[in-house]
Amino acid sequence: MCNQSVGLIARAIEARGIATVTLGKIRELLEQVKPPRGVVVKAKFGAPLGAPLNRGLHEKVVMDSLNLLVNATEPGTIIELPYGWDEAE
Protein backbone atom coordinates (compact mmCIF):
# COMPACT_ATOMS: atom_id res chain seq x y z
CA MET A 1 0.00 0.00 0.00
CA CYS A 2 1.34 3.44 -0.83
CA ASN A 3 2.45 5.89 1.87
CA GLN A 4 -0.30 8.36 1.03
CA SER A 5 -3.04 5.75 1.42
CA VAL A 6 -1.62 4.59 4.74
CA GLY A 7 -1.51 8.16 6.05
CA LEU A 8 -5.11 8.83 4.99
CA ILE A 9 -6.29 5.58 6.56
CA ALA A 10 -4.39 6.32 9.79
CA ARG A 11 -6.02 9.77 10.04
CA ALA A 12 -9.48 8.28 9.41
CA ILE A 13 -8.93 5.64 12.11
CA GLU A 14 -7.70 8.31 14.54
CA ALA A 15 -10.82 10.40 13.83
CA ARG A 16 -12.79 7.47 15.22
CA GLY A 17 -10.79 7.44 18.44
CA ILE A 18 -8.26 4.69 17.74
CA ALA A 19 -4.58 5.64 18.01
CA THR A 20 -2.26 4.64 15.15
CA VAL A 21 1.43 4.49 14.26
CA THR A 22 2.58 4.40 10.64
CA LEU A 23 5.81 2.66 9.60
CA GLY A 24 7.67 4.12 6.65
CA LYS A 25 11.01 3.90 4.92
CA ILE A 26 11.44 7.49 3.77
CA ARG A 27 11.06 10.31 6.30
CA GLU A 28 10.24 12.92 3.66
CA LEU A 29 7.25 10.87 2.50
CA LEU A 30 5.97 10.48 6.04
CA GLU A 31 6.32 14.22 6.55
CA GLN A 32 4.30 14.91 3.39
CA VAL A 33 1.57 12.41 4.29
CA LYS A 34 1.36 13.69 7.89
CA PRO A 35 0.28 10.55 9.76
CA PRO A 36 -0.69 11.06 13.42
CA ARG A 37 2.54 9.26 14.45
CA GLY A 38 5.26 7.86 12.26
CA VAL A 39 8.26 5.58 12.57
CA VAL A 40 11.04 5.59 9.96
CA VAL A 41 12.76 2.22 9.57
CA LYS A 42 15.90 1.32 7.60
CA ALA A 43 14.45 -1.73 5.92
CA LYS A 44 13.82 -2.96 2.41
CA PHE A 45 10.50 -2.07 0.82
CA GLY A 46 7.86 -4.58 1.83
CA ALA A 47 9.62 -5.64 5.03
CA PRO A 48 9.35 -2.74 7.50
CA LEU A 49 10.19 -4.91 10.50
CA GLY A 50 13.44 -6.19 8.99
CA ALA A 51 14.58 -9.43 7.44
CA PRO A 52 12.27 -12.45 7.63
CA LEU A 53 12.73 -14.61 10.73
CA ASN A 54 14.72 -11.90 12.56
CA ARG A 55 12.42 -12.04 15.56
CA GLY A 56 14.68 -9.95 17.79
CA LEU A 57 14.66 -7.04 15.36
CA HIS A 58 10.92 -7.42 14.70
CA GLU A 59 10.24 -7.14 18.43
CA LYS A 60 12.45 -4.05 18.75
CA VAL A 61 10.65 -2.25 15.93
CA VAL A 62 7.20 -3.16 17.28
CA MET A 63 8.08 -2.17 20.86
CA ASP A 64 9.60 1.16 19.76
CA SER A 65 6.51 1.83 17.65
CA LEU A 66 4.21 1.06 20.57
CA ASN A 67 6.31 3.29 22.82
CA LEU A 68 5.76 6.14 20.34
CA LEU A 69 2.04 5.41 20.40
CA VAL A 70 2.00 5.77 24.18
CA ASN A 71 4.53 8.57 24.66
CA ALA A 72 4.11 10.96 21.69
CA THR A 73 3.19 14.36 23.11
CA GLU A 74 2.29 16.18 19.90
CA PRO A 75 0.47 15.20 16.71
CA GLY A 76 2.61 14.33 13.72
CA THR A 77 5.58 13.07 15.74
CA ILE A 78 8.00 11.10 13.57
CA ILE A 79 10.94 9.14 14.95
CA GLU A 80 13.75 7.32 13.16
CA LEU A 81 14.83 3.93 14.47
CA PRO A 82 18.55 3.10 14.48
CA TYR A 83 18.12 -0.50 13.38
CA GLY A 84 19.13 -1.67 9.92
CA TRP A 85 18.05 -4.52 7.68
CA ASP A 86 21.16 -6.62 8.32
CA GLU A 87 21.18 -6.25 12.11
CA ALA A 88 21.70 -9.58 13.87
CA GLU A 89 19.36 -10.81 16.59
**pLDDT given at position 1:** 63
CA nearest neighbour of 34 among 63, 18, 50, 12: 12
pTM listed for this prediction: 0.84
The confidence score (pLDDT) of residue 89 equals 40
Residues 6+ apart with CB under 8 A from 66: 21
Q: Which residue range forms the structural domain that includes residue 13?
A: 3-84
**Contacts of 53 by beta carbon, 8 Å cutoff, 6+ apart:** none
Give the number of domains in the chain.
1
Task: Please write the tens of the pLDDT for every residue from 33-77.
Answer: 899 999 999 888 888 888 889 999 999 999 999 999 999 988 899
Facing residues of 22 across strands? 38
The answer as to whether 89 is a domain residue is: no
- Is residue 75 included in any domain, yes or no? yes
| pLDDT tens, position by position, 5-38 | 888 899 999 999 999 999 988 899 899 989 999 9
Q: Please check whether residue 77 lies inside any domain of the structure.
A: yes
What dihedral do alpha carbons 71, 19, 31, 29 form, nearest 10°? Answer: 120
